Every structure is written in C-alpha cells, then in structure tokens.
Structure 1
Amino acid sequence: MCVEVWDDEKPVQWWTLVDAVVVAHQPHPADPARYDIVLGAGVRNEESFFELPAAPRFELFAGTTVAAASAGRCSAVDGLFGTRADPAPVPLELIGCEPAEPLLAALRRPRRSERDWAHLLVLDRRGAVMASRTVGLSITGARPSVLGGALVDITLTDGGDDRPSPAARPVWAQWYQGPPAEPNLWAPYDSQGRAEWLDLTTRAWRAPAPQPDRSGGEHHLDGRFITDVPGLHCAIGEALLGPGRYYGREWNAFKDCLGGGFGVAPPFALTWHDSEIARRALADVVEDPQGRLSYFEEIVQLLERRGVTVLLR
C-alpha cells in the first residue's frame, strides 16, 4: 500500500507499506460509517517533509509495484511520523566465484572496499547478459567454495536494495536457454514474476539491433491471461513483436514505444481477443488518481489517440 499526505493542493509526503496485512478493524466511535483499521506492515519512507501541513489529508492506494488503485482516504494516521532505525543489513552470498581484479583487491583489503560497488551480471548459457544488479563490495568473509576447485564463496555484508527477488529465479532459469520462442510462457507467473519477465525483455529487444519501425497491418492480442498490469504489457509486446520482446513495461514506457523506435509504430490495427478478461481484472487499477478511467480503458484510449484501430472481442 501507499499512504500519501496532501496539503490543500498536492501530495507532500508518502510512505510505502510493504507486505501490509489488516490486523484489526472496527467502526469509528464518532462515525459508524467509517472504520479504524490497524495494519501490520514494513514501512518505507520515500520522501521527507519540508513541513507537515496544518490540516493534512491522507490518501490511500493499494496494488503492485507497477500500478495501484485508490483505496480511499482517512482523517488521521498514527505510527508513521516517528524516527525509524535503518534496517539491519542482509548479507548476500556469492557462490563459486572465480575472482579477478578488482575483486581480488577487495578480498585483500575488504575494509577499503566498503564504498565500492559492482554490477552482478546474470548470463544465459551463451554468455549473453540477461539482467544486472548493483551490489556493494563490503566483504564480510571469503572461503574455498563448496563447488570445489579454485573457486571462492564470498559473503557481502549487505546485498543492498537491488538484490534479486525470489520471483526472479524461475524466470531466469526459463530464459537461461535464450529468449522465449513461444507465446504466453509468462502466463503461469504471478504479478511479481511477470514484472521480472518484463525486466528481461528490456535487454532482449536490443539484440539483434532494432530494425526500422513497421506500420500498418493487423496484430492479434491474446487476452486470455491478462489479469494484471505486467501481464497486459507482456501480452502487448508479444502481439506486436513476438515472444520475449519489449514494448513498454508500464504506462509511460508504453507511451514512449508508441512514439516509434521500438519495431512497430502506428498506424496499425489491433484485435484484442478475450478483452473482457482484462477489462474486469483492471477495473480498479487507475493510472491517474484524479481520472475516472481504468488502466484498461486508458490503454485503449491511448492506442486510439496514437492512430491504432482497436477491435475489442
């Protein structure tokens, strides 16, 4: 969830509530039409107050890291304004390292490397880069690897904020043989897994080098598995360019792709099969909190404004 603090005109502060769970709720004593709700959640402070508004308004949003919908508002919030200790670092284990410079230098003098960083590259079986993560080189320890030979296992003091999520592992395993050659292989994953899938498409579209944009013709969008925002963008990318290809991963990126330079540009025709599945699944997902259209409706409207003929079936 996200809690936004508004003054009279705009949000001035917001928090992300991670893994939010409703612990208790009851009617508000002064107004039975309202509720007092207790949430258990991890709290991430996104911005800092310049000054707390004299009469703040609290807006609530719920959803995924890709898109969220309005979840109402409340008159007061307790538990967010206190000073919070930084979370304890979570180590990251690197198994089977074959170290070269500058990693060898960091192993020799780990304390001097506390402010250094490196890219952790994820490779497929041919050595092509599928993904990358940024990690700090503050090293807690190193030892002969459990894999044997001259390899080394290294413990990094803190994996950092860019560490891979558990949802990434099965997606990386599927792409290890190379980008997918069949459609809808993303469909069995949940929203987080589908978001990881989209991460891989952002690199895959660059190789081979993008060809000049194609316009015209008719494309068919398989809507059977579009139950969330990442699924919508997985399906649109496949409909326009083929399996594993990139055509935006959220609203702004999709809008940029329609402007050209990503392989397909309007005008063209798009037949959206089983469109009612996405219409229902995304009915409460709103890109613009002030708008009245759902994410599905906004996408259709954007396509039509850019010169795409959309046929919903």
Structure 2
Amino acid sequence: MRQPKYALAAYDVEAEDDEIWALCADAGNLFGDPRPPARGTYELLGCAPEGALSTALACARADGSAPLGFLALQILDKKGERVDEWCLEDVRVLSDRLCARDMSLLDITIEARQSPHNSFDYPQCPPLSPGYRLLGAEDEARGSCRDLAYVENSRPDLVEPSVRLLGCSPQGALRTALDAGEEDLGHAKLIRLDASGRAVQTAVEGELIAWIPSGRGLVDLTLEPWSERPPTAAQEVWELWDDGRPALPNSWSRCGTEGRRYWLDTVRDNHVAHKPDAAPGGTYHLDGRHITDEPGFFCALGEAVNGPGGYFGWSLDALADCLCGGWGAGWPFKLVWHDAEVARICLGLTPRIDNRPWTFEELLEFLAAKGIDVRLA
C-alpha cells in the first residue's frame, strides 16, 4: 500500500524541526503553472522614433500592426542622464497620431507585456526630466518619448481553487484544534514525501481554512496558499524521486525544460550541507548527451560534481557561489565535457526577447573566466 504522499507541518520559520500536524494520502488542486504575463496597451507620448521603431511604425501604418520585440525605456534625470530602466517585451506597434502638445512628435500606441525583471510596476520620471530614451535589446537607439501612458485592460483576474488535502490523519496541535472546534486552524506547509516517508521538498505554504470528515477518523483539509504552487512539471520530478534520491545518472533527462528547472529546485533542496568539499585539482566528467537546453547543463553539472541527484548551481550566478566552497568541489578543478557537440548545436537558440539562454561558447567563456579547465571530449 502506498504511503501518504504528503505531510502537513506547522509553518514556523524559527523552528529547526518541522512539527507534523498530519499525514495526507493525496492532494487536489495543488499544481498550477503561472499564467502568461498579461499583455497591456501603452502609449508612447511625445515620441521621436528612430531605427527599428520607425520601421515598425511604417509597417503598422500599412498593415494595421507590426512587431517590434524588446523595448527598454531608460528613465532620464533633468540633465538627460540615465536614472533607471523599465522594459517591455513582445512589443507590437498598433497605431500613431500627431502629438497634441508638439506637432513635430507622435503619440504611438503599442501592445506589450512587462518584463518580469522590472524592479517596479510602472516607470516614473523625476522632476524636470525630458522623459525616456528608447533602446532595443542590444542597446540600439529606437528614439525617445516624453511620457508613457497605460491603457487599462478589463481582463478579469482568475481565482485559483484552494488546495484540498485528502485523507489526512491529524495529530498534535491540529488534532487539538479540531477537537476543540476552533475556526483558526493555523498556518502550515505541505511537504512531499517519497515512498519511504522521507521528506523530499516543500510543495506549498498557506493557511488552513476549513475541514470535513472523510471517514475512518480521517479528515479532508482546505489550504489557501500564499506561496506559489508547484508547476505541473513537479509531478514528473517527484515520481522520479519516489524511491528516494535517484541512483541512476541522467534521470532528469526524461523531463522537459520546465521539469529540468524544477529538478534543479529539488536537488538544491536535497543537497547535503556541511559536507567537506573534494580536494582542489580534481577532475570531473560532464555527460553531455542530454544537454539540449540551459537547465540540462546545470542538471548534468550537478551530477558530474556530486553524483546522481547532485547539485552544483542552477544558474551562472549560483554556480559562481558554489565555486566559493561548501558545495562539493574544491576549486580549481578540471571539467571533461563529453559529447560537447550536443550542447554546441542546441544551446542559445531561443530568439532573444529579454534574457536569451546562454550559448555553448558563452558557457565556455564563463567557465574559463572562473578558472575551470574545460576539456572537450
């Protein structure tokens, strides 16, 4: 008989050990992929277009609309110096009209989505600023505009259903609260378990808001999440971890790109802390047969250094942190990259909108700059 898939624990950031409130047979409405960023309509007011923006504007006049791609708005101070930057992605030029305040300029209507890397929701120029300098993905000039206006959309927000925790056996403080008929059941986190009952990874955190009996002394609980839900790709990753930490190399290769990203979260959460690093000067063999995307490189690198299910960074910044020590490999070391031609062909092919994936050559340059001796095999 399959052991419970989840454990419900008290949410306490200060506690060293989780206080288990219940073991749960299963969960419903748990997984949820993030919605694609909403596209909005914006107006570049008092715009003097240049370069690709001028070209797209001419096409829009002829065809009704035209793609522009990435657009950065550099916020300028009163001296015309850059203060900050705010970006739009997948920009499409819709129309234009003469600017009422200055007939030599244009008000241009565009459709776009905000870059997820913006540090604030909407740009605002300081006093006496001339406005924004417009740039492309490679900092190529696309003109200037005096102001930006957002045309509010009427798209309704979708309400996600609460998480249902099924077949739960309450204990401890939760059992006491249920027996006392308390309405406030507290804050909790849901932890994925493997088939042996070992904790694999926290799935979601939130507030317990309701319960109903489900027979044989068990209850079904309702959890209202405040953290992000695990993506649907997590299901495949957890199945691969169901018998414990994978013993076979390249288990991650069965997953798609999103599954590989979640694999990296899982191996990071299961990294054995405080284990001494291997001595500097070692040699690690990178199996390159399945490095067809950027997450695949980091999955393979983690295994090269720390064995199946191992972790050694999920991004280049995280890799740089791992090289500082405490993550398995003593720096410097040699990396023998087998079947490197797979990565050379596959990496960095996604068209650049904002953050293009790293190419094979750029990865090699980064590794060399960090003092890693890479040998292609």
Above 0.5 in TM-score?
yes
Q: Partners of 1:260 and 1:285 in 2: how far apart?
A: 32
Amino acid of the structure 2 residue aligned with 1:190:
G
Match of 1:203 among 269, 275, 278: 269
Amino acid of the structure 2 residue aligned with 1:252:
D
Q: Partners of 2:153 and 2:268 in 1: how far apart?
A: 39
SS of alignment partner, residue 251 of structure 2: coil
8 Å Cα contact 1:122/1:132 also seen in 2: yes
Q: Partners of 2:292 and 2:325 in 1: how far apart?
A: 27
Q: Partners of 2:328 and 2:250 in 1: how far apart?
A: 20
8 Å Cα contact 1:267/1:308 also seen in 2: yes
SS of alignment partner, residue 198 of structure 1: helix
SS of alignment partner, residue 122 of structure 1: strand
Q: Partners of 1:121 and 1:90 in 2: how far apart?
A: 19
SS of alignment partner, residue 245 of structure 1: coil
SS of alignment partner, residue 186 of structure 1: helix
- The equivalent residue for 2:219 is 152
Q: What are the residue-to-residue correspondences of 1:83-232 with 2, within 5 Å?
A: 87-104=158-175, 107=178, 108-110=181-183, 112=184, 116-139=186-209, 141-145=210-214, 148-156=215-223, 158-206=224-272, 210-232=275-297
Structure 1 residue 58: deviation in Å? 6.4
Match of 1:55 among 131, 137, 159: 131
User: Are residues 119 and 4 of structure 1, via their aligned partners in 2, closer, same or farther at CA, if it must alter by over 3 Å?
Assistant: farther
Structure 1 residue 239: deviation in Å? 1.4
- The equivalent residue for 1:64 is none
- The equivalent residue for 2:13 is none
Q: Which runs of 5+ in 2 are unaligned?
A: 1-36, 38-69, 77-81, 98-108
TM-score with structure 1 setting the length = 0.72
Structure 1 residue 238: deviation in Å? 1.1
Q: 1:194-228: per-residue Cα shift (whole Å, max 9, x none)?
A: 11111111132217x52333322322211121122
SS of alignment partner, residue 263 of structure 2: helix
User: Are residues 135 and 243 of structure 1, via their aligned partners in 2, closer, same or farther at CA, if it must alter by over 3 Å?
Assistant: same
Q: 1:234-266: per-residue Cα shift (whole Å, max 9, x none)?
A: 011111221101101112111111121111122
User: Number of matched residues?
Assistant: 285
Q: Which structure's CA Rg is the greater one?
A: 2
SS of alignment partner, residue 302 of structure 2: helix
- Root-mean-square deviation (CA), in Å? 4.3
- The equivalent residue for 1:296 is 360
Segment of structure 1 superposing worse, 209-218 or 224-233: 209-218
Greater RCO structure (CA 8 Å; 6+ sep): 2
Q: What are the residue-to-residue correspondences of 1:75-90 with 2, within 5 Å?
A: 87-90=158-161
8 Å Cα contact 1:270/1:310 also seen in 2: yes
User: Are residues 203 and 136 of structure 1, via their aligned partners in 2, closer, same or farther at CA, if it must alter by over 3 Å?
Assistant: closer
Q: Which runs of 5+ in 1 are unaligned?
A: 31-35, 62-68
Q: Partners of 1:297 and 1:218 in 2: how far apart?
A: 21
TM-score with structure 2 setting the length = 0.61
